[in-house]
Amino acid sequence: MFKNNMTELLKIEFPIIQAPMAGGVTTSSLVAEVSNSGGLGMIGAGYMTPDQIRDEIREIKQLTSKPFGINLFVPNEFTCTEKEIITANEHLQPMYKQLSSSMVNLNIPSPNQVFDTFNEQIQVVIDEKVPVCSFTFGVPSIEIIARLKHHNLILMGTATTVEEAIEIERLGMDLVVAQGSEAGGHRGNFMAEDENSLVGLMSLIPQVVDHVSIPVIAAGGIMDGRGLMAALCLGAKGVQMGTAFLTCIESGAHHVHKEAILHAKEDQLVLTKAFSGKSARGIHNKFISDMKNHQDSIPNFPIQNTLTQPIRKAASAQNNPEYMSLWSGQTPRLAKNQTVEMLMKEIILEAKYIKDIIADK
Amino acid sequence: MFKNNMTELLKIEFPIIQAPMAGGVTTSSLVAEVSNSGGLGMIGAGYMTPDQIRDEIREIKQLTSKPFGINLFVPNEFTCTEKEIITANEHLQPMYKQLSSSMVNLNIPSPNQVFDTFNEQIQVVIDEKVPVCSFTFGVPSIEIIARLKHHNLILMGTATTVEEAIEIERLGMDLVVAQGSEAGGHRGNFMAEDENSLVGLMSLIPQVVDHVSIPVIAAGGIMDGRGLMAALCLGAKGVQMGTAFLTCIESGAHHVHKEAILHAKEDQLVLTKAFSGKSARGIHNKFISDMKNHQDSIPNFPIQNTLTQPIRKAASAQNNPEYMSLWSGQTPRLAKNQTVEMLMKEIILEAKYIKDIIADK
């Protein structure tokens, strides 16, 4: 019942993609287990070096013979004066104090370095023959798309509006992930302004489906068979699920992060630029509320992300959720701490049960 | 296939409620046509006088023998100094100028007057034997609930979070409308803060369904059979649709408002307090952008609503969309200008078609 052009293209059994959460969540065992369970495991490689990427790909290939994918951040131009960086760093001093930490990271990469890293990441993906590559924060150049297509990679873009989805199709990518406002972690908008890109999946999916002919994947707040079936009814060909996999046993997320999600409620998930300079959804905590007064002086991604890195690291080492980025979608009440295999089985069983009810069987 | 405890309770054929949009949209012919087509028509009576309500109920009864409902705004305490009102009114002067209008409405009701009107509205609803009454902006007192239940009214509350839904059930109401962030018009949050109450339906419905036992109605961005089927998969027992009915031929919405929705895109729908003092979703226009600088000095509902009334009236008279409140949900691309009967038939046909596909028939 789950076969369609999306599962055929990706050569998977169930139309379920594990969202490529960056920052250490997508361990090789998480990715491999998702693929072994019939979904598509994805490496969240946005923050990884080319060497780390190569190592993880090779590890995953030891653990599964099934297809898996990788996600890269498309670099954007960014500028910032020395003075702005100093000001932004000053605003972080109270947090350093709270954590009794004095490490400071002013080692901000230049736009050129970021673009170079991206090109090296692409090369590793090609060299290691990863079957699927998705992109967030924008679309790669037509040269890169042509190079990847030449090597037969299946390409996925991330869109938050109809216009962005149309652009992804126009550039020749194979699938589009439509990210609803429910989604946890970073927003993927690259044409729409932040405030105009928060469209709920109930609205986003049918409007995107009506305007592109490539398969649409629904992402944001989907946690179980109910969400999968709802997405299919709306016209999506599959779902991408993040938070549901983040709290799984195989995920590399910090245990404090997992616990925070397992105890969170839907009205505690807020959008903030405070951690990275880019809008992202996570559980409200002290860092977010302390940064409220400095919202207008937060430098762009990846500058703020670099500046706050020591704070997040120190907080993690101290098991202190108040200064960690606790990314989560808007459905934390459905999160469970279980194996990937159990989660996948539950989703499919529930989806089949709903199908039978709808079919009046 | 659409029979369930929600359709039984409301004595309707299809699990579709027409959202009670206030401000002249829900003409007697709109309400009656929805009920005649097998859904539940609803009077948006929030801004209506008790006499207007009585007249409309009687008109509707001439047009249909089927059940219909009515929605009332639950009054909240509000205070504002003379000085704050003068400041707020000063901020509106440039708009008056743009519209060459000089009318000013400083005729702000007292909280007592608002509560008295609410009680009179309730009395009319009882006297005229309206079968269904829903509430927005809060929950009525247990005395009022007891009085309405004594007269066998079916009661519906509006919730934007799990906590609000639990409260509605606890107070003895019969159904809960779960309003997702996709919804057009006013937000219905009454316990959650504005910024914490914007949960997308894909997240909201399953979480609410897991925490209450009364039937849950999904509201926000639903426009067609795809949305209806998705809502049912998520565990809702029915849907409430506003924008889809607003652009119908029978709706009393201004033709400029209808046209604006028929040409809008999902990334033009913004949240604003500028028109009424309460957060609401509508199409971005000049009034909203002009008021951006005064966001912190907008008085509470219903004060700002009273102050902006002459502007909205003048704009309507001049067919000027830039100063009207163009409420709409996040799915304007699916809006059509057709009869209620055609819309209802399309929804049901599409839902049945989706059912057959899911059932692999």
DSSP B230: H
How much of chain A exceeds pLDDT 90, in percent? Answer: 93
pLDDT value of residue B1: 79
Q: Nearest C-alpha of chain A: how many angstroms from B275?
A: 19
Mean pLDDT (chain B, rounded) = 96
Which candidate in A182, A222, A233 is best for mutational testing of the B interface (most B CBs within 10 A)? Answer: A233
Phi-psi region of B360 (alpha: psi -120 to 50; beta: other; left: phi over 0): left
Per-residue pLDDT tens for A18-34?
A: 999 999 999 999 999 99
Reported as half-sphere exposure (CB side, CA atoms, 13 A), residue A74 has a value of 19
Which candidate in B160, B162, B202 is best for mutational testing of the A interface (most A CBs within 10 A)? Answer: B202
- Please provide the size of chain B in residues: 361
Q: Which residue in A200, A90, A111, A280 sits closest to B231, CA to CA?
A: A200
Phi-psi region of A175 (alpha: psi -120 to 50; beta: other; left: phi over 0): beta
ipTM of the complex: 0.97
Phi, psi at A216, each rounded to 5°? -105, 130
Angle (CA) B231 B236 B241, round 5°: 60
Would the CB atoms of B199 and A267 count as touching at under 8 Å? Answer: yes
Instruction: Look up tokens 């409308």; give the residue.
Output: B177
Q: Nearest C-alpha of chain B: how many angstroms from A291?
A: 16
Identify the band that residue B361 occupies on the pLDDT scale cut at 50, 70 and 90: low
Question: Measuring CA to CA, how many Å separate B274 from each of A76, A291, B167, B287, B329?
Answer: 34, 26, 29, 8, 17
What integer is the mean pLDDT of B240-265? 98
Per-residue pLDDT tens for B38-78?
A: 999 999 999 999 999 999 999 999 999 999 999 999 999 88
Identify the band that residue A248 occupies on the pLDDT scale cut at 50, 70 and 90: very high
Mean pLDDT (chain A, rounded) = 96
What integer is the mean pLDDT of B320-330? 98
DSSP B299: P
Q: Which residue in B207, B210, B233 is closest to A230 by CB distance?
A: B233
3-state secondary structure of A293: helix
Q: Nearest C-alpha of chain B: how many angstroms from A230?
A: 4
Whether A227 has a pLDDT exceeding 70, the answer reads: yes
How much of chain B exceeds pLDDT 70, in percent? Answer: 100
Among chain A residues, the shortest Cα distance to B359 is held by A359
3-state secondary structure of A144: helix
pLDDT value of residue B195: 87
Instruction: Look up tokens 């199908």; give the residue.
Output: A355
Whether A340 has a pLDDT exceeding 80, the answer reads: yes
Question: Measuring CA to CA, how many Å separate A181 from each of A27, A219, B202, B337?
Answer: 26, 9, 10, 28
Whether B325 has a pLDDT exceeding 90, the answer reads: yes
Among chain B residues, the shortest Cα distance to A361 is held by B359
Per-residue pLDDT tens for B123-156?
A: 999 999 999 999 999 999 999 999 999 999 999 9
What integer is the mean pLDDT of A341-357? 96
Would the CB atoms of A266 and B1 count as touching at under 8 Å? Answer: no
First to last CA, chain B: 15
| Residues sharing a CB contact under 8 Å with residue B78, sequence separation 6 or more, in sequence order | B111, B299, B300, B301, B302, B303
Whether A361 has a pLDDT exceeding 70, the answer reads: no
Would the CB atoms of A196 and B267 count as touching at under 8 Å? Answer: yes
